DNA sequence: CACCATGTTAGCGG
DNA sequence: GCCGCTAACATGGT
């Protein structure tokens, strides 16, 4: 589920809550989630102060007053929970950071997901990030560049949009929604899209990602007990999870098919 | 009990 | 090398 808007919503809440806080205590309950031994994570994180929170695609990067980066990817189910000293949290977690101010940050359901400690702050030197395609909201990601990227690709457009090496941060939900808004069927070959269709897909994709970020993304776990933002975009979804329900534009029942092994939702009248 | 969902990667055949 | 398909990963829900 988590794609750019959901990840960016988390990043912004981290920025608002943990920047400039010092880590007092670190607890780890699942070594497999990490790329280095537990002792190494504890050694590098304890007593450090959070300085920056970055995002590349679906990856969040915490940086500190030390030359290290803590990367994490939620994959399917991962989420964060930020709690006040007065709040109790007993559910399973794989990493807990307690700050000197008393708040605790829990990393939950990081089973398929990962938390990686890297000994650099230079993102260009980190493999997981080197492999990513451009971020669709990046200023350098222009319509002309998008068109040029699509020309040689014979792949179906939906799986291509979800390919993180091609573009970083789009998954099942926003590929469905973007293609609906652009009027393009999900199994069209990328190289066969017309210039006008590519332009429309480019602008609709960026527009929906921005709107969703502003509304807190799609149904997701709340960051904290005071979090009123997360999930605000859920009622705005046009086709995702609406199989058989009427299209908001033409009334035709929304179709569903496996495309590239993934659930595609689309309207056979509005999309060509 | 089996199956499905999520994101990602690896492996296989065309 | 590219493309599409399948399985695997871990877990919870039906």
Task: Write down all domains in chain A, each with its CATH number in brackets.
Answer: 4-130 (3.20.190.10), 143-266 (1.10.8.50)
pLDDT at A77: 86
Q: How many CB atoms lie within 10 A of CB A209?
A: 24
Ramachandran angles phi, psi of A61, nearest 5°: -125, 120
CA of A3 to C1' of B6 (A): 11
Angle separating helix axes A195-215 and A4-17, nearest 10 degrees? 30
Predicted confidence band of residue A13 (pLDDT cuts 50, 70, 90)? very high
Q: What are phi and psi of A80, to 5 degrees?
A: -110, 150
Bridge partner list, A133: none
Catalytic residue flag (residue A58): yes
The neighbouring-strand residues paired with A62 are: A53, A70
pLDDT at A44 over 90: yes
Q: Are A249 and A232 in contact (CB under 8 A)?
A: no
CA-to-CA distance for A179 and A219, rounded, in angstroms? 20
Task: Find the mean pLDDT for residues A55-76.
Answer: 94
Known catalytic residue at A159: no
Interatomic separation, CA of residue A4 and C1' of nucleotide C8, rounded (Å): 25
A52 catalytically annotated = no
CA gap A247, A182 in Å, rounded = 14
Residue A188 is classified by DSSP as S
What pLDDT score was predicted for residue A261? Answer: 80
Of the pLDDT bands very low, low, confident and very high (cuts 50, 70, 90), residue A257 is confident
In the prediction, which pLDDT does A221 show?
A: 86
Q: How confident is the model at residue A151 (pLDDT cuts 50, 70, 90)?
A: confident
Average pLDDT over residues A3-14: 94
Which residue has the closest alpha carbon to B7 C1'?
A75
Nearest DNA or RNA nucleotide to A57 (CA to C1'): B7
CA atoms within 13 A on the CB side of A83: 16
Strands A69-73 and A104-108 come out as unpaired
In this predicted structure, what is the pLDDT of residue A263?
84
Q: Which protein residues have any CB–strand C distance under 7 A?
A: A 32, 76-77, 92, 109, 111-112, 152-156, 159, 189-190, 259-261
The answer, yes or no, to whether residue A1 has pLDDT greater than 70, is: no
Q: Give the sign of the dihedral formed by CA A84, CA A90, CA A91, CA A95.
A: positive
Closest to A107 (Cα-Cα) out of A30, A51, A217, A41: A30
Burial class (CB in 10 A: 0-12, 13-18, 19+), A14: buried
* Average pLDDT score, chain A: 92
Whether A34 and A44 have beta carbons less than 8 Å apart is answered as no
Q: Which nucleotide is nearest to A152 (CA to C1')?
A: C2
Map tokens 């010092």 to a residue. Answer: A22
- Residue A204: phi and psi, rounded to 5, are -70, -40
Q: Which nucleotides of C are covered by protein (CB under 7 A)?
A: 2-7, 9-12
Query: Is A253 known to be catalytic?
Result: no
Whether the predicted pLDDT of A52 surpasses 90? yes
Strand B close to A66 by CB, under 7 A: no
pLDDT in tens, A247-256: 999 999 999 8
């Amino acid at each position: 589920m988590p794609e750019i808007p959901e990840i960016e919503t988390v990043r912004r809440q981290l920025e608002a809550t943990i920047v400039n806080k010092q880590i007092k205590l670190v607890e780890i309950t699942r070594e497999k989630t990490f790329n280095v031994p537990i002792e190494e994570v504890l050694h590098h994180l304890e007593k450090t102060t959070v300085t920056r929170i970055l995002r590349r695609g679906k990856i969040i990067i915490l940086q500190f007053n030390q030359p290290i980066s803590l990367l994490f990817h939620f994959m399917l189910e991962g989420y964060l929970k930020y709690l006040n000293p007065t709040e109790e949290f007993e559910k399973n977690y794989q990493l807990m950071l307690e700050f000197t101010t008393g708040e605790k940050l829990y990393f939950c359901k990081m089973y398929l997901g990962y938390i990686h400690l890297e000994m650099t702050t230079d993102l260009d030197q980190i493999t997981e990030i080197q492999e990513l395609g451009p971020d669709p909201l990046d200023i350098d990601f222009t319509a002309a560049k998008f068109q040029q990227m699509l020309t040689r690709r014979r792949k179906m457009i939906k799986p291509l949009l979800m390919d993180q090496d091609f573009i970083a941060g789009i998954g099942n939900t926003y590929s469905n929604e973007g293609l609906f808004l652009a009027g393009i069927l999900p199994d069209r070959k990328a190289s066969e899209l017309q210039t006008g269709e590519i332009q429309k897909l480019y602008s609709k994709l960026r527009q929906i990602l921005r709107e969703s970020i502003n509304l807190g993304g799609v149904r997701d776990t709340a960051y904290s007990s005071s979090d009123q933002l997360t999930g605000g975009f859920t009622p705005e979804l046009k086709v995702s999870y609406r199989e058989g329900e009427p299209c908001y534009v033409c009334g035709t029942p929304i179709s569903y098919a496996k495309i590239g092994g993934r659930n595609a939702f689309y309207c056979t009248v509005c999309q060509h």
